[in-house]
């Protein structure tokens, strides 16, 4: 039996989940893996008297984790970039392995951390999709495959908001407030609802499965603020559900990497992933279509992934490789990174909700404007306006259109005198 002594940075929800799982399932982990986990030191900004530290020493100085010779593995669970990045750098430089759930650090600094000292001793299963073993799945189970595409619901807050808007007809702002009350969204929810959190995660998946490069700037990012209950209802009429997706596709022209709302066919697997659940669907040449689904956030769900990495490091130690020894060959042969396709060159079908004045000839003016850019209409909805409703929505599904042409068409449409408010444009997800 190998004992691994853990030092934990942070004492928030995930750290408390780690303590709870070790306390409850430590014996089971040891039985399955041959590794015993013991927490010997915890460092956090402040102590929490109600939390059982399991006999670990507590301090407010993160340096104690790196300098303590008893600490075999550091669990970085404080989040953010500044302090967390510094801790990871110093730990790896001292040959102390690190397990992190920090997607922001990896998205912004992954290239540095994966090429520096101790690069084989940084593990980050918990950085994407909580309890779902998507990192292990891509780097292990699917390692023999060429990945053709990846579609992910990788932000539980957005998924919860859309689900409540669909089920109850509750406006966006009210659902967001309820998500904050329930703890699904932060007091400042912008990282979630503006797509940044999902983009951090997609950057990691993009590097692992497609390009080998951590480049957040390569990901096109859009959030969910512009989607209304009306859009969700119109999408349902058309046979779709609206999901906030991370999308990666290998194409002949390059790799697409984008985060935005998308219409997903109602009978597709991803369309039926509800609440705060996450799911990642991967299509590869050998394994075909695989779906990974489960809780994408929460203390014990994320802690489960953190501890899976700690146990994997313990197994590595037990085989004689040793923790803190870089087991990667000094030189590796890597295929050149494929080019990222600019968003302007991505092709997709589109959903348009065009608020127009209720007057004769409106539909013809809209279709004429679209035809100027060789855009055709695959489906349309135009409900009759009531006497008290001077504006009526025209809802269209277009054919597949290159992004640059669609953007030019939208500018043309928005300038029409008959268009009474901002047009809502959503893309249709590629075939799922």
26 to each of 14, 18, 23, how far by Cα in Å?
A: 17, 10, 6
156-168 and 229-237 helices, crossing angle to 10°: 70
Nearest of 64, 216, 208 to residue 123 by alpha carbon: 208
Helix locations, 68-185, DSSP H: 82-93, 103-115, 134-136, 156-168, 172-182
Q: Which two structure tokens, joined as six digits, stand for 188?
A: 């400042």
If you search the block for the tokens 């912004």, which residue do you land on?
108
Find all residues with CB under 8 Å of 85, minimum gap 6, and list them: 105, 109
Proportion of the chain in helix, strand, coil states, percent, rounded to 5: 40, 25, 35
103 catalytic? Reply is no
Q: Are 234 and 381 in contact (CB under 8 A)?
A: yes
Neighbouring CB atoms inside 10 A of 169's CB total 11
Residue 373, helix vs strand vs coil: coil
Give the active site residue among 103, 201, 241, 243. Answer: 201
Residue-wise over 252-269: b if at least 16 C-beta within 10 A, else e?
A: eebbbbbbbbbbbbeebe
Nearest of 339, 17, 288, 294 to residue 128 by alpha carbon: 294
What residues are annotated to the active site? 201
């Amino acid at each position: 039996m190998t004992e691994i002594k853990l030092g934990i940075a942070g004492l928030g929800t995930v750290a408390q989940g780690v303590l709870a799982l070790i306390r409850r399932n430590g014996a089971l982990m040891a039985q399955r893996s041959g590794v015993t986990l013991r927490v010997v030191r915890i460092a956090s900004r402040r102590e929490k008297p109600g939390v059982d530290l399991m006999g670990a020493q507590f301090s407010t100085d993160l340096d104690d984790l790196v300098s303590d010779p008893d600490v075999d593995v550091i669990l970085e669970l404080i989040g953010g970039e500044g302090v967390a990045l510094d801790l990871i750098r110093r730990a790896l430089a001292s040959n102390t392995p690190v397990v992190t759930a920090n997607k922001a650090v990896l998205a912004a600094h992954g290239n540095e951390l994966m090429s520096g000292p101790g690069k084989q001793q940084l593990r980050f299963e918990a950085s994407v999709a909580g309890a779902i073993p998507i990192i292990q799945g891509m780097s292990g189970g699917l390692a023999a495959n060429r990945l053709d595409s990846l579609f992910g619901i990788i932000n539980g807050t957005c998924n919860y908001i859309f689900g409540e808007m669909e089920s109850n007809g509750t406006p966006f702002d009210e659902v967001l407030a309820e998500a904050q009350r329930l703890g699904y969204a932060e007091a400042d929810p912008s990282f979630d609802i503006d797509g940044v959190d999902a983009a951090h995660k997609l950057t990691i998946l993009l590097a692992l499965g497609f390009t080998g490069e951590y480049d957040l700037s390569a990901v096109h990012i859009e959030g969910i603020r512009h989607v209304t209950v009306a859009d969700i209802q119109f999408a349902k009429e058309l046979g779709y559900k609206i999901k906030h997706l991370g999308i990666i596709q290998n194409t002949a022209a390059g790799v697409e990497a984008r985060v935005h709302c998308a219409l997903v066919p109602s009978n597709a697997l991803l369309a039926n992933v509800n609440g705060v659940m996450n799911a990642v669907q991967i299509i590869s040449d050998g394994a075909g279509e695989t779906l990974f689904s489960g809780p994408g956030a929460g203390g014990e769900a994320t802690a489960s992934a953190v501890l899976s990495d700690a146990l994997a490091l313990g197994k590595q130690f037990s085989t004689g490789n040793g923790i803190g020894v870089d087991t990667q060959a000094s030189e590796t042969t890597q295929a050149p990174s494929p080019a990222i396709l600019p968003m302007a060159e991505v092709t997709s079908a589109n959903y348009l909700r065009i608020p127009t004045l209720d007057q004769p000839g409106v539909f013809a003016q809209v279709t004429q404007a679209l035809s100027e850019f060789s855009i055709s209409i695959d489906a349309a909805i135009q409900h009759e306006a009531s006497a008290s409703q001077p504006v009526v929505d025209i809802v269209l599904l277009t054919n597949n259109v290159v992004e640059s042409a669609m953007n030019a068409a939208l500018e043309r449409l928005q300038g029409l005198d008959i268009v009474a408010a901002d047009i809502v444009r959503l893309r249709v997800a590629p075939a799922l």
